[in-house]
Amino acid sequence: MTSRTFNTPTTPATKDEWLTPPDIIRALGEFDLDPCAPVKRPWDMANNHYSIADNGMELPWFGRVWLNPPYGDETFKWISRGAAHGNAMCLIFARTETKGFHNEVWNKADAIFFFKGRLKFFHVNGREADGAANAPSCIVAYGPSNVEALRSASAKGLLRGRFIPLKSATPPALSPPAMHDDPLPATLPFADFSQHSAFLPGDIPLFRA
């Protein structure tokens, strides 16, 4: 991620760049592109990277994309691009009530993973930050393969938190109810009164609750 990120921890010496914890990347598998990567990084987030010098928003995106987008007003522009790309995972704050989250996550994403506790991000020199992020984080998945990767990482305990499918959780449509003018079956189980009843009128049993 470049510039201040949506997950920037609050520290006395706030930096412009914070790195995704490498355990998260390892848990989710290989990515083809990180379009908002730091210029200098101690580890790769993907096989290919665009930095702030490349202006990754304007360049072609391809394959499976990892996003830890810039902080602030630009965040959901990147998320929107990831949703349109259709094969992306995005690490953002779990600001579930915001308009951007409603528009780009609740309305478009295939699954979300909410982390238990707050994450610690890393400096560009590879050192873990002293403080945790100033809000809870989540990973948003677009595309079926990313849903399965997120589900698998959660099930294996590689990520601590709660996996929530979205589109795949929609219940199937119910069959329409039978109409009153549907044809009746050829035969119905009517009682046959041609045979003598097993009970005489005076023998009808009485039932009490």
Per the CB < 8 A criterion, the answer to whether 61 and 29 are in contact is no
Distance of alpha carbon 111 from alpha carbon 96, whole angstroms: 13
Choose from 45-54, 71-80, 178-187 the range with maximum mean pLDDT.
45-54
46, pLDDT greater than 60: yes
- pTM over 0.85? The answer is no
At 152 the three-state DSSP class reads helix
Q: What is the pLDDT confidence band of residue 118, given thresholds at 50, 70 and 90?
A: confident
Distance of alpha carbon 166 from alpha carbon 159, whole angstroms: 18
* pLDDT tens digit sequence for 165-183: 998 544 445 444 444 444 4
In order of 41, 89, 144, the CA distances from 168 in angstroms are: 36, 16, 9
The single-letter DSSP state of residue 103 is I
Average pLDDT (181-194) is 47
Q: What is the pLDDT confidence band of residue 73, given thresholds at 50, 70 and 90?
A: confident
Q: Pseudo-torsion of CA 17, 22, 23, 29, nearest 10°?
A: 120
pLDDT score, position 106: 96
201, pLDDT greater than 60: no
Per the CB < 8 A criterion, the answer to whether 132 and 84 are in contact is no
